[in-house]
Amino acid sequence: MKKVRVGAGSAGWPDMADPALVSAERGELDYQGFDHLAELTMAILERQKVRNPTRGYIPDVIPLMKKLLPIWKNKRFKIVTNGGGANPEQCAVEVMKIAKDLGLVGMKIGVVTGDDIPVKQLDNLRAQGIKFKNSETGEEDIDRVKDKIEAAYVYIGADRVVEALNAGADMVIGGRLSDNSLFVGPFMHAFGWKYEDEYWDRIGAGVATSHLLECAGWSTGICSTQWEKVPEPWNLGFPIAEMSENGEAIMCKPPGTGGLMSEYTMKEHLVYEVHDPQNYLMPDGIADLTALKVEQVGDNRVKISKAGTKSRGKPRPKTLKFCLAHADGFIMTYMMIVSAPKALEQAKRVEDYLQRRLKIRGVKPKDMLISYVGINSLHGPAAPMPKEEPNEVAIRFAFKADTEEEARLYQNEATLTWYAAGVGAAFTAPDVRPVMALWPTLVPREAIPTKLEMKEVK
């Protein structure tokens, strides 16, 4: 039975580079996928591109490729990355410069575009009768935020990745390629899977395995209830999937690396970011995670196979996830640390002082969070007050405002809370910054044409 080895290269921006390089050097990889994007990363990159047309891609890609491509020169595995962000074309230009300097003449790079939608195109889509209902609030369309939208991008699938690999690409650079598609594409290319009824079971298995790969070190113990058992997290190994053409996979990591690949870390991550385990919706297919069997089969080796006769996958959705990033006012944050004796009493006095100052100024924040770090900053009102006097307490203020002027007012009042702090107080620098908010919605798949351009290093 045909098998391929596909390795994770990153989980976001930023991430450690050395585990990816270890996998490339020692992992006997056929493919390596690099996920650099989170929900609002594209909006940040879009702003960079507006200021400078030669920016807008993940800057970490450049130093990474300077180290990775010399390894690739000898290993010749395929690379797939969404590090192109809002500017895959320029990212490819920069990578090709590195490849040329290394003498990698003939290297082929597929550039995938079409996911980053010009804001002005939203009017054209709406003119076609498409409404962008907010998936969280239920608002029927974008009228409330239409004039504040700064970026629009679609989570696209592996269609063009497969096309690029079929055309001989050594590397595929895309924008908002979905996290899963970075790995589903290589699986489909390697095994000849297609978006047809015959293959949905295997594509579903591929989506599930890709979910275990996409967050890199998160699958090998950096975010786990098993954290006490995780050896050498400073020498973490990223996950590798030994995938078979029937959809079964052995999850492992490079020898000699830290981290933990266990049945428990796999099960923990399998349900991460999953709302319905029977319908894990991705642009390439819908995975049924309840149809999987997870079992330890060796030291740092976990088998992901089929449980029973139920299909592991269903046909891919007719719509794609569409993210609209819009301006949403300003936030001001500030933190003061007060020392014992009576640290908690001082912190409460500081909070009371600020509340009374805001009343005197006649202002009411759009939103406000005051928390005591070390006491209730994570658990909020559910956290019991300590029975013993803490050595120190950090009181943190966060205010939401519609305008920068209003946020600056909160900044001024917060920084003057030392009037009520007593002695032994330390401060952080106040921070006022604009807020980007997400309008999550869906868009018909056929409304988002994507494009592949093949380039060659000469």
Distance between CA atoms of residues 326 and 365, nearest Å: 20
Quote the tokens at residue 107.
């290297």
Residues 6+ apart with CB under 8 A from 140: 131, 133
Q: With contact defined as beta carbons under 8 Å apart, do 49 and 74 qualify?
A: no
pLDDT on residue 355? 96
Amino acid code (one letter) for 33: G
Q: Is the dihedral of CA 455, 168, 176, 152 positive or negative?
A: positive
Buried b (16+ CB within 10 A) or exposed e, 99-118: beebebeebbbbbbbbbbbe
pLDDT at residue 308 in the model? 95
Q: Give me the residue label for tokens 């591109």.
A: 49
CB atoms within 10 A of CB 281: 17
Distance CA 321, CA 181 (A): 13
CA distance 39 to 157: 16
Place of tokens 């997870």: 294
Please tell me the distance from the alpha carbon of residue 194 to that of residue 196, in angstroms, as a whole number: 5
Supply the pLDDT for residue 162.
98
Report the pLDDT value the prediction gives residue 196, as an integer from 0 to 100.
98
* pLDDT score for 437: 96
Q: Which residue is associated with the tokens 């007060």?
A: 338
Closest C-alpha among 455, 148, 94 to residue 324: 148
Query: In this structure, what are the phi and psi dihedrals at residue 18, rounded to the nearest 5 degrees?
Result: -65, -35
pLDDT at 456: 98
Residue 421: per-residue pLDDT: 84
- What pLDDT, on a 0 to 100 scale, did the predictor assign at position 170? 98
Q: 16's torsion region: left (phi>0), alpha (psi -120 to 50) or beta?
A: beta
In this prediction, residue 425 carries a pLDDT of: 84
Please check whether residue 176 is in contact with residue 37, taking contact to mean a CB–CB distance below 8 angstroms: yes
Distances (CA, A) of 302 to 180, 196, 258: 19, 29, 16
The predicted structure's pLDDT at residue 178 = 98
Which residues pair with residue 285 across a beta bridge? 282
How many angstroms separate the CA atoms of 39 and 42, rounded?
Answer: 7
Which amino acid does the sequence have at 129? Answer: G
Positions of the chain with pLDDT under 50:
none
What is the spatial distance between Cα 191 and Cα 199, in angstroms, rounded to a whole number?
Answer: 10
The whole-model pTM stands at: 0.95
Q: Is the dihedral of CA 137, 143, 148, 150 positive or negative?
A: positive
* Cβ-count burial 138-160 (b if 16+ within 10 Å, e if not): ebeebeebbebbebbbbbbbbbb
DSSP string, 160-201: HHHHHHHTT-SEEE-SSB-TTHHHHHHHHHHHT--SSGGGHH
Which residues 6+ apart lie within 8 Å of 299 measured at CB? none
Query: Going from the N-terminus, what domains does the chain have, and what CATH number goes with each?
Result: 3-115+155-317 (no CATH), 328-437 (3.30.70.360)
